[in-house]
Copies of this chain bind each other. A is one copy, B any other.
């Protein structure tokens, strides 16, 4: 996964990012979902929709994409091919990202990977991976939240946070 490449392991500022946006008033929910999948597959860092109010009483959605500039042409092609859009807009943004590392937490429900966020050399964020928590919750027939809480606790103890 590109998201956790080497340059992402350290806390850093990335000035080569762009937000691409487009307002869509004649796409179905199925098309919106499919387009999101295509954009992630093509390397978008983040993709999300916001419900908006457009002219002529039309409920609509704004599609927003966070990407590095190098991938912009490919993402634009997907937008133009898959959605109803006749135009899009974009503007440069900077990203400040925490350093990241992963810890395998031994929980009461098995091993769960926890993503650690490093801010100014200190571990401050402990985010158990969803897919691991889900699998463990289903196997042990316990609420997802129990697995999540336990994994976070184990990781925090390890880091003495």
Q: Using a CB–CB distance below 8 Å, which chain A residues touch chain B?
A: 17, 19, 23, 25-34, 36, 40, 46-62, 64, 66, 76-77, 80-82, 84-98, 100, 115, 117, 119, 124-125, 127, 130, 133-134, 137, 143-145, 148-149, 152-153
B30 touches A28 (CB 8 A): no
A94 to B55, CA, bound (A): 22
Q: In the complex, which residue of chain B has the Cβ closest to the Cβ of A134?
A: B34
- Which of B55, B62, B89, B92 interacts with A17 by CB under 8 Å? B89
A57 touches B28 (CB 8 A): no
- Name the residue among A82, A84, A134, A137 with the largest chain B CB count within 10 angstroms: A84
Q: Which residues of B contact A143 (CB under 8 A)?
A: 81-82
A153 touches B149 (CB 8 A): yes
Give the top 4 A-B pairs by smallest Cβ distance, nearest first. Answer: A29-B58, A25-B29, A51-B51, A26-B28
